[in-house]
Chain A
Amino acid sequence: MISRRDFLQVSMAASAMVGASGFGNWARLAAQQALTQDQLLEFDTFGNVSLIHVTDIHAQLKPIYFREPEINIGVGGNKGAVPHVTGAEFRKLYGIEDNSPSAYALSYNDFSALGKAYGKVGGLDRVATVINSIRAARPDALLLDGGDTWHGSYTCYHTAGQDMVNVMNALKPDAMTFHWEFTLGSERVREVVADLPFAALGANIYDAEWDEPAEDFAPYKFFERGGVKIAVIGQAFPYMPIANPGWMFPEYSFGIRTERMQEVVDEVRGMGAELVVLLSHNGFDVDKKMASLVSGIDVVLSGHTHDALPEPVLVGETIIIASGSNGKFVSRVDLDVRDGRMMGFRHKLIPIFSDVIEPDKEVSALINEQRAPYEEAMGEVIGQTDSLLYRRGNFNGTWDDLICDALLSEREADIAMSPGVRWGPSLLPGDNITREDIWNATSMTYGKAYRSEMTGEFIHTIMEDVADNIFNPDPYYQQGGDMVRMGGLGYRIDITKPQGERISELTLLKTGEKLDPAKNYVVAGWASVNEGTEGPQIWDVVEDHIRKQGTVTVAPNTSVEVIGA
């Protein structure tokens, strides 16, 4: 890992670049216990170019709670490296005081108490205020959206992403790349992209039939800002047809395509680009590897794995910026570009404390307009929670356990499976659970809850397969999600082992018996990538379950034993 001090030294040694992060500012605010909008936005404008990065908003128009992961294990060369540092170690690494606003924003401890003290985060009307403030200082700042924008809420589902398109358009982005957007179906994606008032980028979006770059998405776009020729290259999520239903976008192929990225970088450099920015949905560890293999990228704006880092990570002469998820953060990166190269940077990860940052009135009104037709339906209170409900982390979160419990009881199954996605806001103990909250944790275009029989051996095979998508030591073989959440089944996982040997001690919790490889079990789950999956929608299953419970209590999950972390 590059420590804070090493980081500055490395950057100096590598390229005589001057690097600075605004993080120190809001760490100090913690001591003062007084957070103001001016302090959050304080920034000495630097150099001649400003980049604004938002990513993985997952259709969260309104402020939410979002608990960062407790368990986020790095493997191979990334063991112990950011973003695989959490909680107290993370705070120590960045000099964050316990119980401070930064501790609340960036780590998981005491989340329920700190959430009540510091309030919700995000809200695109607050994000708009931050963007406007940066543009006031630097009118030609580039706003770049890393994707996973048109997915993840009740209104987004019912408008096929139009609510997000309308609100994002008001923020005036300059370019965007993609992931979950494609689960709207390729026809809908093309329909939206055709009218998009900014660039839709993806150098790795290929025509599946001809294995050539798809014509519907440009690989890059040039901008001239502060007298600098800037090329912004897009990289969509590489494993879309594997992690999501490929039948929804059969015309397209993706992949990491390192060689292609080098070709595109060489092409834009050949065309005179003085600054090359990669707007990426690779995920953080994949971006690190790609930055080490491809030469000529100055800045990677990294998305997909939902990491929020208060300082850039340096790979060679490339800086990698991670800007969190769900509208919780905005990154500002000021760059000094002279004589055709990046000479220095100043960076700040701006946490969107919704009670501190004034909402932009126009964008507030626009958000309310999108929500108005659905307010009554999605505002209905279904139940309450006694427990903190969260998802993010390598293994079962409490939201997942609640969903698995719903599947087990409503679908009368032995075992439940819930996908290890990283989206889904949190709820605090004592909160109402509204229909909107349930949709925030479950909304998708392939949400039908299947019920089928599987052998113990096949269940094991699935778990080994998913585990390798997370814990393969080579990031290029990782898909950037978390482990599949199992309900009714306990297991042990040794993350240091190869595929096929990681998972053991599979135990059917209702009987305490070991899973029999030859026996059939009834499995209920959701988010199958197969076409024609049948069953009720997962949000209806979860709603029925919560309604019966009235107040839900989710006990800490003790059925997953992790070895080798």
Chain B
Amino acid sequence: MNLTRRDALALGLGATAAALLPLSATAAAEDAIAAFTGGAEAGAGDLTLTAPEIAENGNTVPITVNAPGATAIAVFATGNPTPEVVVFNFGPLAGSQAASTRIRLAGTQDVVAVAKMADGSFVQTSATVKVTIGGCGG
């Protein structure tokens, strides 16, 4: 448990905010996703988003996206004040359509990845990443 006063308070704000956020995408995140897809429906498909179930550090969460045949993959942190995280664009000479980065998460939330495929269609997937103030392991 994180319990020195300063850290506890700092973390407490984050955790409290997280507890208030719904797990589903906020309106801002929905708007951001719609802006990327141009309002097109995004289905399920060959897109993987790898993220930790529980972040070791919410300030730097490693994620990987992979969508063979995609021309672009966008990542959204649906619970962040600014949901747009990154758009990876892949040119025709790209050896693979995969990328890794680290993102900052304001609290427990769904991270959403949307891939634009070569035929102009969109696929989407998401992962819940928990940002915790820590427990007490057995």
Do these two chains really belong together in a complex? yes
B-binding residues in A (CB < 8 A): 56, 179-180, 208, 211, 237, 239-244, 246, 253-256, 259, 283, 304-306, 417, 419-423, 450, 452-454, 457-458, 461-462, 464-466, 468-470, 472, 474, 476-477, 479-482, 484, 499-500, 523, 525, 527-530, 532-533
Residues of B within 8 A of A421 (CB): 136-138
- Selected from B8, B100, B128, B136, the residue in CB contact (under 8 A) with A458 is B8
The distance in angstroms between the C-alpha atoms of A180 and B138, with both chains bound, is 9
Residues of A within 8 A of B19 (CB): 461, 464, 499-500
Docked-complex contact A477 and B130, CB < 8 angstroms:
yes
The distance in angstroms between the C-alpha atoms of A469 and B138, with both chains bound, is 12
Q: B35 at interface (Cβ–Cβ under 8 A)? A: no
The distance in angstroms between the C-alpha atoms of A254 and B135, with both chains bound, is 15
Docked-complex contact B137 and A480, CB < 8 angstroms:
yes
Docked-complex contact B5 and A423, CB < 8 angstroms:
no
Residues of B within 8 A of A523 (CB): 3
The minimal Cβ–Cβ distance linking A209 to chain B, given in whole angstroms, is 10
The distance in angstroms between the C-alpha atoms of A454 and B52, with both chains bound, is 30
Docked-complex contact A461 and B16, CB < 8 angstroms:
yes
Docked-complex contact B54 and A477, CB < 8 angstroms:
yes
Given contacts A420-B138, A421-B138, 8 further A-B contacts (CB under 8 A): A237-B137, A242-B56, A246-B57, A253-B62, A420-B135, A461-B16, A466-B136, A479-B54
The minimal Cβ–Cβ distance linking B108 to chain A, given in whole angstroms, is 8
Docked-complex contact B3 and A243, CB < 8 angstroms:
no
Residues of B within 8 A of A56 (CB): 138
Sorted nearest first, the 8 A-B pairs with minimum C-beta distance are A243-B137, A419-B136, A422-B138, A469-B135, A500-B19, A479-B135, A528-B3, A530-B4
Given contacts A246-B56, A254-B56, whether A458 and B12 have CB atoms under 8 Å apart is: yes
Docked-complex contact B137 and A179, CB < 8 angstroms:
yes
Given contacts A461-B16, A465-B133, A500-B19, whether A417 and B54 have CB atoms under 8 Å apart is: no
The distance in angstroms between the C-alpha atoms of A6 and B50, with both chains bound, is 36
The minimal Cβ–Cβ distance linking B122 to chain A, given in whole angstroms, is 23
Q: CB within 8 Å of A: which of B106-138?
A: 108, 128, 130, 132-138
Docked-complex contact B20 and A465, CB < 8 angstroms:
no
The minimal Cβ–Cβ distance linking B10 to chain A, given in whole angstroms, is 11
Docked-complex contact B62 and A452, CB < 8 angstroms:
no
Residues of A within 8 A of B130 (CB): 468, 472, 477
- Selected from A237, A242, A454, the residue in CB contact (under 8 A) with B8 is A454
Could you write out 21 A-B pairs with CB less than 8 Å apart? A239-B137, A241-B57, A242-B132, A254-B56, A259-B50, A305-B138, A420-B138, A422-B138, A452-B8, A453-B5, A454-B8, A461-B19, A462-B1, A462-B12, A466-B1, A482-B138, A499-B19, A525-B1, A525-B3, A527-B1, A533-B3
The distance in angstroms between the C-alpha atoms of A256 and B52, with both chains bound, is 7
Docked-complex contact B15 and A461, CB < 8 angstroms:
yes
The distance in angstroms between the C-alpha atoms of A242 and B132, with both chains bound, is 8
Q: B2 at interface (Cβ–Cβ under 8 A)? A: yes
CB nearest neighbor in B for A211: B62
Residues of A within 8 A of B57 (CB): 241, 246
Docked-complex contact B137 and A462, CB < 8 angstroms:
no
Docked-complex contact A477 and B4, CB < 8 angstroms:
no
The minimal Cβ–Cβ distance linking B130 to chain A, given in whole angstroms, is 6
Residues of B within 8 A of A454 (CB): 3, 5, 8
The distance in angstroms between the C-alpha atoms of A307 and B21, with both chains bound, is 35
The minimal Cβ–Cβ distance linking B128 to chain A, given in whole angstroms, is 8
The minimal Cβ–Cβ distance linking B14 to chain A, given in whole angstroms, is 10
Docked-complex contact A484 and B1, CB < 8 angstroms:
yes
- Selected from B4, B5, B15, B137, the residue in CB contact (under 8 A) with A465 is B15
The distance in angstroms between the C-alpha atoms of A464 and B19, with both chains bound, is 9
Q: B53 at interface (Cβ–Cβ under 8 A)? A: yes
The minimal Cβ–Cβ distance linking B5 to chain A, given in whole angstroms, is 4
Given contacts A462-B1, A465-B133, A525-B3, whether A306 and B138 have CB atoms under 8 Å apart is: yes
The distance in angstroms between the C-alpha atoms of A36 and B90, with both chains bound, is 70
Docked-complex contact B5 and A452, CB < 8 angstroms:
yes
CB nearest neighbor in A for B15: A461
Q: B9 at interface (Cβ–Cβ under 8 A)? A: yes
Docked-complex contact A450 and B136, CB < 8 angstroms:
no
- Selected from A246, A256, A420, A450, the residue in CB contact (under 8 A) with B3 is A450
Docked-complex contact B53 and A477, CB < 8 angstroms:
yes
Given contacts A461-B12, A530-B7, whether A255 and B137 have CB atoms under 8 Å apart is: no
Given contacts A253-B56, A255-B52, A500-B20, whether A533 and B4 have CB atoms under 8 Å apart is: yes
Residues of A within 8 A of B128 (CB): 477
CB nearest neighbor in B for A532: B4
Docked-complex contact B4 and A450, CB < 8 angstroms:
yes
Q: CB within 8 Å of A: which of B4-57?
A: 4-5, 7-9, 12, 15-16, 19-20, 48, 50, 52-54, 56-57
- Selected from B62, B108, B134, B138, the residue in CB contact (under 8 A) with A242 is B134
Residues of B within 8 A of A472 (CB): 130
Residues of B within 8 A of A469 (CB): 132, 135
The minimal Cβ–Cβ distance linking A432 to chain B, given in whole angstroms, is 27
Docked-complex contact A529 and B56, CB < 8 angstroms:
no
Docked-complex contact B137 and A479, CB < 8 angstroms:
yes
The minimal Cβ–Cβ distance linking A146 to chain B, given in whole angstroms, is 12
- Selected from A180, A254, A306, A462, the residue in CB contact (under 8 A) with B133 is A462
